[in-house]
Chain A
Amino acid sequence: MGISFSLLAVIALMAIAYSGTKFANLQFLFGVVIPYLAVITFIGGVIYRVIKWAYSPVPFRIPTTSGQQKSLSWIKQSRFENPSNTAGVIGRMLLEILLFRSLFRNLKLVVSEANPMELNNGERIIYKSDKWLWLAGLAFHWAFLVILIRHFRFFAGYVPSCVQLLESLDSWLQVGLPRFYITDMIILTAVTYLLIRRFVIPQVRYISFAADYFPLFLILGIAITGILMRYVIRVDVAGVKTLTLGLVGFNPSVPEGLGIIFYIHIFLVSILFVYFPFSKLVHSAGVFLSPTRNLSNNSRMERHINPWNYPVKIHTYTEYEDEFREKMKKAGIPVEKG
């Protein structure tokens, strides 16, 4: 149900943009109003989510320790896997966010179909390294970032040199014109892999629902319309830039003849922006706040404060001694009240 619903939803969105610009002439709505609303929703939404998370305190220092703690001076601490100070935490977070450290550990379980304990070498439950999810995830996110940065050429009067450099790096495999971007190929491949694994790995399929398929179809739609525009159905790039610069300068104008595919592309991007803060996609903001990753494991060295710590009822020593005094005295255990 989730798969077909999500696919149909993305197709319907494309149809809306198509008919809205082809038949109803709503170019201004799709080219200006919706993108503005989408950006506002995106920024406001992400801020709202982050504030909402930040509003809930972190009562306890609960890092997941994935390496040797700092203890005796001659025992080598695992500084990033079990950080004891801010520098270590920064290192751990950089590894996590830039390289997906935790996912890099991924293992694949292999269990013998027969009796798991009785076959050769006792080695019936085996863990094999499994880096495909890590690779596809990392490739997808980095390609997405590079593509996003490449789009800056549409939002600045002149193209910043760093964007130009990135473009030339991204297109070193260039064969003829237009420039062929490697990231276009990577994002298509990676998203397709992420989608297919949701279909074919039984466990992953079992846990997936519409919210898992929809963003993948949506991003696929964005990537495909973008690539089509670039290599197949050419659009008026100068016109697009007039529109985008107008948006950035808060002086929007919609040139004639931009091509319907452009409106489909920008509409899907707008939907992604709107959808982002209110879906699982906010993981990209949330990961920074994850208390099992962004805290140093120093709660034995420095007291961590729980803002809502409150006094609790305990069974005091006095109550305890009152109950057992005679037995304690008889057993030769010292007591407070003779």
Chain B
Amino acid sequence: MTELTKLNIDYRLPKKNWMDTPAEFKQGMFCHGSKPKDLESVGFPNPREWSPKDEDWKLPENWKEIIIEGMRERLDKYRSFRLFMDICVRCGACADKCHFYIGTGDPKNMPVLRAELLRSVYRKYFTASGKALGKLAGARELTKEVLKEWWYYFFQCTECRRCSVFCPYGIDTAEITMIGRELLNLLGLNTNWIAGPVANCYKKGNHLGLEPHTYKSTIEFLLGEIEDITGITIEPSFNRKGAEILFVTPSGDVFADPGNYTCMGYLMLFHELGLDYTWSTYASEGGNFGYFTSNEMAKRLNAKIYAEAKRLGVKWILGGECGHMWRVISQYMDTWNGPADFLSAPVSPITGTKFENAKSTKAVHIAEFTADLIRYNKLKLDPSRNDNLKVTFHDSCNTSRGMGIFDEPRYIIKNVCNHFYEMPEDTIREKTLCCGSGSGLNASENMELRMKGGLPRANAVKYVREKHGVNMLANICAIDRAALPALMDYWVPGVAVAGVHELVANALVMKGEKERTTNLRGEPIKSVKS
């Protein structure tokens, strides 16, 4: 990996027109290619051994026809796609809003140019001026070089939608990248880091491929940890029929540090409330890497949540902290797999609050659920147990710009922590900067891309670290919890990463608990109240 601490971002532009500058595949900036077995297990086209580094990508003979027909089909199916191909005026307002452009200086990471990669082909095959005038009208032939360029740059976009907040016409690069990736998937051009979890999730219920007994024992391991810290024995249920609530969360929370502390937080909170809920091993994934593949694949994975809710006969669904999971639940799930008329409109069994905003999906975000509990004083909280932490909050892209959940997590944090500091205004809320690893880019072979893409976020964290001594970056996203620790270690050492419900559980005074001497991570609590 290049020595990034000496990073000089080169914003100078090539002399030649971008169309005459083919993509150069740089080590560390892209992921491994998808494996044939993963494509086969979900029935995706063109399964074969290939590597993005190969000259020959082993495409089917009629690959060009497949792409052009695929574009035609999608132009007819998505108004967003057709409109966004037509109305960009190239004002450039989006150019420096992309974290990948800020971090790499590569002009093809400017959202406008990322879209032009596709738009130029659209003009050539679907507009009269492009057919007649060619390059003069911004049109170009679809060639294998163009296809490789698409692959390289559509997997250098995290579908974070920051550019779309600033675009005067609301052009959303996430839509363009999603369509671009769908087209690439028609030729079997996915990444291993996405195709693997998709295959796992399809057959085993979660991205990590944990089989039911392993999923259960992984959670039981966390129960042991909780017992050591609090002295309380928790016995959650799995696949239990007749529970009031089905709880779904990304499998990353169950499995990996530091997400598992967030998972311990859920377990402790639900136990303290005496919540009538169940986990499911079949719908054991809140996240949806299908969403980074194609609309259809996303729907196929998402279908399990409602199907399992129906089978178990629960009343409603509670969802854990995750970014793209909530973009999907918020803007897609009901449309794909609803109506969920076998469920009832969610009501908090503790406060009686009706979650009117979720009355159709029947799925409540845990930050909404917990904020409501705190508002009605249903939790006994001792924020001083988090006094060793100086906390800032990273808004996740999907929950920010595809949902708008800003104040709920902040309300919770302010009630469970005494030291909370916001990052600069232009780097939070709807203007939040991506972790650099979203949309299935959190692999290890593309670490240089991740560190560069995460630089703007890290820079804002560094600002509050130097100004206020911030040492904890809170968030409500499992990919953040997986990706930000590496980013912090690299750019802002000394800042740890936590889900909001880890902080909740630290502060939560539980009935019958023993005197807590450490937080969930086993670190000593600064001042223990007597």
A interface residues, Cβ below 8 angstroms from B: 1-2, 5, 49, 52-62, 64-72, 74-76, 78, 81-82, 84, 96, 100, 102-103, 105-109, 111, 113-117, 121-125, 127, 133, 137, 201-204, 206-212, 278-280, 282-283, 286-287, 289-293, 297, 299-306, 308-309, 312-317, 320-321, 323-324, 327-328, 330-334
The residue of chain A having its C-beta at the shortest distance from the C-beta of B336 within the complex is A309
A84 to chain B: which residues have CB within 8 Å? 357
If the complex has contacts A5-B136, A65-B403, A116-B455, are A315 and B202 also in contact, measured as CB distance less than 8 A? yes
A207 to chain B: which residues have CB within 8 Å? 18, 90, 92, 95, 107, 110, 112-113, 116
A249 to B8, CA, bound (A): 66
B83 to chain A: which residues have CB within 8 Å? 53, 56, 286, 289-291
Q: Is B100's beta carbon under 8 Å from chain A?
A: no
Which one of B26-34, B234-242, B256-264, B383-391 is at the A interface?
B234-242
If the complex has contacts A69-B357, A331-B212, are A314 and B164 also in contact, measured as CB distance less than 8 A? no
27 residue pairs from A and B, CB less than 8 Å apart: A54-B79, A61-B331, A64-B401, A68-B405, A69-B403, A69-B406, A71-B355, A108-B96, A125-B455, A202-B11, A206-B18, A207-B90, A207-B107, A280-B88, A280-B90, A283-B87, A289-B83, A291-B80, A303-B338, A308-B77, A312-B300, A315-B300, A317-B307, A317-B311, A328-B239, A334-B238, A334-B239
If the complex has contacts A312-B296, A314-B307, are A111 and B360 also in contact, measured as CB distance less than 8 A? no
A286 to B90, CA, bound (A): 15
Q: Is the Cβ of B7 less than 8 Å from the Cβ of A116?
A: yes
B216 to chain A: which residues have CB within 8 Å? 331-333
- Most chain-A CB neighbours within 10 Å: which of B7, B363, B404? B404
Cross-interface CB contact of B406 among A68, A286, A299, cutoff 8 Å: A68
A74 to chain B: which residues have CB within 8 Å? 375
B interface residues, Cβ below 8 angstroms from A: 5-9, 11-13, 18, 43, 75-83, 86-93, 95-97, 102, 107, 110, 112-113, 116, 128-129, 136-138, 161, 164-172, 175, 202-203, 205, 211-213, 216-217, 238-241, 281-282, 295-296, 299-300, 303-304, 307-308, 311, 329-332, 334-336, 338-339, 353, 355-361, 363, 368, 371-372, 375, 400-408, 411, 424, 426-427, 429-431, 455-456, 458-460, 462-463, 465-467, 491
A317 to B205, CA, bound (A): 10
The residue of chain A having its C-beta at the shortest distance from the C-beta of B279 within the complex is A333
A84 to B358, CA, bound (A): 12
The residue of chain B having its C-beta at the shortest distance from the C-beta of A204 within the complex is B92
* Nearest CB of chain B from residue A129's CB, rounded to whole Å: 9
| Other A-B pairs, 5, CB within 8 Å; known A290-B83, A301-B359, A314-B304 | A56-B81, A59-B335, A67-B404, A312-B303, A332-B216
Cross-interface CB contact of B282 among A280, A312, A320, cutoff 8 Å: A320
A278 to chain B: which residues have CB within 8 Å? 128-129
- Most chain-B CB neighbours within 10 Å: which of A72, A107, A115, A202? A72
Cross-interface CB contact of B96 among A75, A109, A297, cutoff 8 Å: A109
B462 to chain A: which residues have CB within 8 Å? 117, 122
Cross-interface CB contact of B213 among A100, A114, A328, cutoff 8 Å: A328
Q: Is the Cβ of B331 less than 8 Å from the Cβ of A115?
A: no
Q: Is the Cβ of A306 less than 8 Å from the Cβ of B168?
A: no
If the complex has contacts A71-B408, A283-B169, are A304 and B137 also in contact, measured as CB distance less than 8 A? no
How many A-B contacts are there with CB distance less than 8 Å? Answer: 331
Main secondary structure of the interface of B (DSSP, over half): helix
Q: Is the Cβ of A292 less than 8 Å from the Cβ of B172?
A: yes
A289 to chain B: which residues have CB within 8 Å? 79, 83
If the complex has contacts A111-B9, A203-B13, A207-B116, are A330 and B87 also in contact, measured as CB distance less than 8 A? no
B164 to chain A: which residues have CB within 8 Å? 64, 292
B375 to chain A: which residues have CB within 8 Å? 72, 74
Q: Is the Cβ of A65 less than 8 Å from the Cβ of B430?
A: yes
A96 to chain B: which residues have CB within 8 Å? 168, 170
In the A-B complex, the 7 residue pairs with the smallest Cβ-Cβ separation, listed nearest first, are A69-B404, A65-B404, A331-B213, A292-B170, A122-B462, A286-B87, A109-B96
A49 to B128, CA, bound (A): 13
A323 to B359, CA, bound (A): 35
Cross-interface CB contact of A57 among B77, B138, B300, cutoff 8 Å: B77
If the complex has contacts A65-B400, A75-B408, are A102 and B165 also in contact, measured as CB distance less than 8 A? yes
A328 to B282, CA, bound (A): 11
B96 to chain A: which residues have CB within 8 Å? 107-109, 203
Cross-interface CB contact of B463 among A60, A123, A211, cutoff 8 Å: A123
A279 to chain B: which residues have CB within 8 Å? 129
Cross-interface CB contact of B75 among A56, A111, A287, A302, cutoff 8 Å: A56
* Nearest CB of chain A from residue B333's CB, rounded to whole Å: 9
Q: Is the Cβ of B358 less than 8 Å from the Cβ of A301?
A: yes
